[in-house]
Structure formats: C-alpha cells, structure tokens
Amino acid sequence: MSINYDHFSSLGIALVVSGPSGTGKTTVCEKLLEQNKNLNFSISCTTRKPREGEVDGEDYYFISVEEFKRRVENSEFLEYAEVHDNYYGTLKTEVTDKVINGEDVLIDIDVQGMRQMRKASSGDSVLEKCTSYVFIAPPSYPELEKRLRNRGTETEDVVSRRMLNARKELKAWNEYQYLIINDEVDKAVNRLQSVITAVSIETSRLTPVADWPYV
Ligand code: ADP
Ligand code: 5GP
C-alpha cells in the first residue's frame, strides 16, 4: 500500500503577513489567492473609508467607529489595532472557525496585530499549532515611497505619515519566522507559496488517521 497526505488530518494554516503600507502585500496576496484556491483571505473590519475599487465584504468590512467598538465589546476580534488613525480588526469567524475546518487563511495585519496574535495564540491549542508569521519588505526606502506615491490613493500628508511608520515597522522584521523581499511580484508570490507548502508538511501538524504503516 502506498501512502499519501490523505492519511493525515490536519488543521488549516493561519498565515500572518505584515509589511509596511505600500510594500506590495495586497498585490502579492491577491496573486497568490488567485493561484491557490485552497487559501482564504481573512477579511478584516476597518473604520477607514474604501479606496476606489475596494468592495465591502471582499477587501474589508467597512464599518463605523461605533460598530467597531460594539464588536470589541462583544469580543468578536482575535486582535485589533489603531493603524494610521483608523481601527482595523481580525474577526475570530474569519480565522479560528476556518482553521478548525482545515481551511488555510491569509491574514494581512500590521506589526501590532502580529504581536497581539502571538499573545492570543500562546496557550490556545488550535491557534498555537496553526499560525505562521511572514514579513514582506520592500527592496529599499525610495522604492517604498515610489510605490506609495504611484498607487495614487494617498495624499502627500498620508504618504509622509506612512513612510515614518514604515521605518518603525521594518525594524520588526526578525520577530517573524520568514522574510520575503518583494523585489519582483512573481518571485515574492513563489516565495510565499513555498512557505505555505513547507508549513503544510511540518510533521508537528500531521496527525495520521487510518492505515498509517510507519509505526
Ligand atoms: P500594500 O498592500 O503593501 O499597501 P500594494 O499591494 O497596494 O501595497 O502595492 C503598492 C503599489 O506598489 C501598487 O501600486 C502596486 O502595483 C505596486 N507594487 C507592488 N509590488 C510591486 C513590485 N514588486 N514592484 C513594483 N511595484 C509593485
Ligand atoms: P490599508 O489601509 O493600507 O489597507 O492597511 C493599513 C495597514 O493596516 C496595513 O499594514 C495592514 O496590514 C493593516 N491591517 C489591515 N487589516 C488589519 C487588521 O485586521 N488588524 C491589524 N492589526 N492591522 C490590519
């Protein structure tokens, strides 16, 4: 009898991805989500206004500050943070419920969010086993600024604030398990897929279910 990965039951992967605004996280993640149909995007709640082309319930759940606070009171978030003067939060229903069902989830959050996720995961039997952390960095500061400007979605004032924040965020790169430098989109997508592939076959994640011969 030959064996394959169907001989294992496994929780899904919760892949936390951070990097300064403008690095290209959304571009890389969207491309990966297109080619990896087993991967779900964790749709965060935000009080920020939608950018042109953004769709409610796809890119974010765009909600009011009052609604956000109500959800905080209800303990609906795994983590939440104030980023660039707006609130952002990761819903438990987007992550915990899915990984328990064996589905993989991509979570795009900032460095504060990652630190909260690490706290929330430690001692949580499901999240501790499921969560991996990836930092996406731009190839240089001038390139980051160029990307932020070229995106054309922010005012000069907002670009300056995001560049200042980027300098702080980039220092956190080695708090993550993996570093991806987004020099070229396709290379970055391949690197991210490689991380998922490697994590998915970690022995600590694999629980044999039936007819497992290697005992
Ligand atoms: P983030 O989600 O990290 O804020 P985006 O995905 O919105 O960043 O990307 C910011 C801008 O940079 C966009 O205009 C995008 O097309 C561009 N971009 C993303 N990755 C690259 C890359 N590897 N090389 C050049 N431009 C890029
Ligand atoms: P943007 O406004 O450009 O979409 O996102 C700004 C920043 O907020 C990015 O660094 C992004 O990773 C972060 N972010 C998005 N969703 C969440 C979330 O649910 N929680 C936290 N902590 N940060 C988030």
Answer whether CATH 3.20.20.370 is correct for domain 5-42+102-208.
no
Nearest C-alpha to atom 11 of ligand 1 is from which residue? 147
Residues 183, 191: contact at Cβ < 8 Å? no
Q: How far apart are CA 27 and CA 12, in angstroms?
A: 23
pTM, full prediction:
0.94
- Provide the pLDDT for residue 197: 96
Summarize pLDDT for 89-142 with one digit per residue, the tens: 999 999 999 999 999 999 999 999 999 999 999 989 899 999 999 999 999 999
- Nearest residue (by CA) to ligand 2, atom 10, is 110
Which ligand is located closest to the Cα atom of residue 109? 2
Return the pLDDT at 148: 92
Probe ligand 2: pick from 16, 26, 44, max atoms within 8 Å of CB?
44
In our burial notation (b when 16+ CB lie closer than 10 A, e otherwise), range 172-200 reads: bbeebebebbbeeeeebbbbbeebbeebb
pLDDT at res. 212 = 85
Ligand 2 lined by 19 (C-beta under 6 Å): no
Contact 45, 132 (CB under 8 A): no
Residue 1 has pLDDT above 80, yes or no: no
Split at pLDDT 50, 70, 90, the class of 2 is: confident
Q: Whose CA is nearest to atom 27 of ligand 1?
A: 24
Residue nearest to atom 3 of ligand 2 (CA): 21
Q: Provide the residue count of the chain.
A: 215
Give the position, in ligand 1's atom list, of the atom nearest the Cα of 185: 23
Lowest mean pLDDT among 4-8, 10-14, 81-85, 93-97: 4-8
The residue ranges of DSSP E strands in 44-184, in sequence order, are: 44-46, 60-62, 77-83, 86-91, 104-108, 131-137, 178-181
What whole-number distance in Å separates Cα of residue 101 and Cα of residue 132? 17
State whether the Cα torsion 144-145-147-148 is positive or negative: positive
| Domains in the chain: boundaries | 5-42+102-208
pLDDT band at 182 (very low <50, low <70, confident <90, very high): very high
